[in-house]
Amino acid sequence: MEAKYIFGIIEALEDKIFNSCGMSCYEEVYTIPFQDISAVVSDSQFINYTILPKDEVARYLLTHQQVIEKTMDSYTVIPMRLGTYAFNTGEVEEILLRGYALFKDIFRKIDNKIEMDVVATWNDLNSTIKEVSEAKEIKSLKEKLMSGPEGVSVEGQIKIGSLIKNILDKKRERCSFEIEAALKGCSLDFRKHDLMDDRMIFNSAFLIDKDRKAEFEKELDGLDELYAGKINFRCVGPLPPYSFYTAEVKKIPFNDIEWAKGKLSLNDMATRDEIIKAYRGKAKLYHPDKNLGSPDAERQFNEIFRAYKILLEYCLSAEQAGQGEACSFNEKWISQDAVIVQVRK
């Protein structure tokens, strides 16, 4: 199915074709403008990334990031989540319309800002474990266990291994705290990412002013000297603010909205407060604690909560479209889907 793949949003009224040389996953990359912002897009077949092998997803992600980072050479970019599609140009323009206020607010926050990603790993994990094994408490435990008639049992070895791990984890936490403290001083914000393996000590993204990039790198050099080769540092950047402001588009089928409206017994118009009031009333009626012995109560309660979440999200879509505080659930709109633009932080 033909679609428009959206890489990101730029704060510029541009009708431009980008040089996409080497970006083999996509055809020509160009912009679709709306007021004073534009979407960076490419014509593409719709792809369901959730069913692809990991290595193929990684290939598409790399190209996705290459396009965004190439665009960043000339513009401030709000990245879109991997796999963001619109059916046609009109739907891209609708996304820009509904997300306009949000996009403009983000552009204000990220103006002259960049992301720097820092990863720290043990230079030699085995040497670090050996060093930890020489700790006083480890030696004491070994001596105690070896003083028994049968020496160190399997259970004793497990205790030693567990204690070594605890000490190593504390050492990792201490180093991570020191790295974070040093780099936070010249940063506006930071986000911690998961540690991928036992060698990794630190994995975080930092949002900084472009003008402080040299200062940030100097702090990193100081940390490299401080740990004297025991820790390896890798810094990637400057990057768009992937970890802080990645926009995504969500669609709610109007059939779901009609179902949710009926579930909460609402009319064709309702404000956010009226939706909350209807939900609370139904939740009290079907709460499992008040319906002990009723096998249907929990299902009803869960469906009421789902209906509540759907209608709140729909109200967000209506607000983004400038429809005011009251949301319309009139059946003449059921043929359309509600488009919601939000930011994942």
- Per-residue pLDDT reduced to its tens digit, 105-152: 999 999 999 999 999 998 888 877 777 677 677 667 666 656 655 655
CA distance 275 to 278: 5
CA distance 345 to 343: 6
E strands present in 48-169 = 77-79, 85-86, 113-122
Q: Which structure tokens are listed for 90?
A: 């009109």
The pLDDT of residue 125: 82
The model's pTM is 0.73
Sign of CA dihedral 206, 208, 213, 216: negative
Higher pLDDT, 200 or 133: 200
E strands present in the chain = 2-10, 17-18, 29-34, 37-45, 77-79, 85-86, 113-122, 189-192, 200-209, 231-239, 246-253, 269-270, 327-328, 337-344
Distance set, CA 42 to CA 94, 241, 251 (Å): 17, 21, 20
Task: For residue 191, name the pLDDT band (cuts at 50, 70, 90).
Answer: very high
